[in-house]
Amino acid sequence: MRVHVSVPATSANLGPGFDALGLAWTLRNEVVAAEAEGVSVEIEGEGAARLPRSADNLVARGVKLAYDAAGRPFGGCALACTNRVPSARGLGSSAAAWVSGLMAGNALLGAPFTKDALLALAARAEGHPDNVAAAIFGGLTVACASGSTVTAVALPVPAGLRWIVLIPDVTNATADARAVLPASVLHGDAVFNLQRVALLLASLWVGPPQALGVALEDRLHEPYRLRLFPWMPDVVKAARVAGALGCVLSGAGPSLLAVVAGDGAPVAAAMEAALRRAGIPGAARAFDVDTSGALSRVTG
């Protein structure tokens, strides 16, 4: 039996929704998995030269995690991974890997777990629920962890908005981006973000889209991560001048996400130019929102 799995890229936080909001993109990693003696991993595409091809690979670890959770012995698996999600760029590559492995393991086991159960396993493995929720369910997701339970709700996203992701050629480890965050924040900053998360969801649901300019502001993580990305303010300013409603870090960065009501080409060009002026190569791409989430199918 072979299992084919497809999992989308994701952006987390969306400005103020730190560790809570995620958005899935129509850019997917593909995995073909089969039970085997021992673990073997083939990799094509992003990260092929540096990702482990052993049991340490996150996809393989995800398969084993599903077996462990089901109380079944894990003898190994053969994996063929086609990676399209850039790694260490703030586009949910590690979440895609964990979810791919869990989805593959679940299918090989005969699907004993619901997507909600897989969400709890993936969030525990990843350390936070935002990316994995969007990867599993697709669309715009709001995720909340309470002990070992994770609750996620997928929301519709207006079709008239364009989403531009600027992907620098430099990388950034999520651990490094979290290390610069403070252990506590001011009460006023917490209120600032609560107001903007509420406004963000309201403006996406009922409008007006112009409210996104305020709704995407953040005080919980982006100000502290500027030391890692000192060029970010110039790129954000360029995006706004070119017509973006807002521009935020995608996850832990270094990618930036801009939202546009209308033609996104001028914004993409402006973001690329601002990044080049900072001496960093990169490319801006327009992505549609993925509404399917993680998919799997079994073949003989």
Please choose, from the candidates 47, 286, 20, the residue with its C-alpha nearest in 3D space to the C-alpha of residue 167.
Answer: 286
Range of the domain at 181: 161-287
Q: Based on the domain organization, do 183 and 255 belong to the same domain?
A: yes
Q: How many domains does the chain have?
A: 2
> Do 242 and 172 reside in the same domain of the chain?
yes
Read off the CATH number of the domain in which 270 is found. 3.30.70.890
Q: Where are the alpha helices (DSSP H) in the chain?
A: 58-70, 93-108, 115-126, 130-137, 174-179, 187-206, 212-215, 222-225, 232-241, 265-277
Residue 265 sits in the same domain as residue 278: yes
| Mean pLDDT rounded to a whole number for the chain | 96
pLDDT of residue 135: 98
Q: What is the pLDDT of residues 92-112, one digit of tens each?
A: 999 999 999 999 999 999 999
Q: What is the pLDDT of residues 194-243, one digit of tens each?
A: 999 999 999 998 878 889 999 999 999 999 999 999 999 999 999 999 99
Q: Is 209 helix (H, G, I), strand (E, B) or coil?
A: helix
CA 262, 268, 274: angle at the middle one, nearest 5? 135
- Domain check: are 65 and 175 in the same one? no
Does 201 lie in the same domain as 146?
A: no
Statement: residue 165 has pLDDT above 90: yes
CATH number, domain of 147, equals 3.30.230.10
- Are 146 and 21 part of one and the same domain? yes
Kindly state the average pLDDT of the residues 105-121. Answer: 97
- In one letter, which amino acid is 141? T
**Quick one: 231 and 147 in the same domain?**
no
Query: What pTM was estimated for this model as a whole?
Result: 0.95
Amino acid 174: pLDDT? 87
CA distance 125 to 84: 22
Q: Is the pLDDT of residue 34 over 80?
A: yes
SS3 248: strand
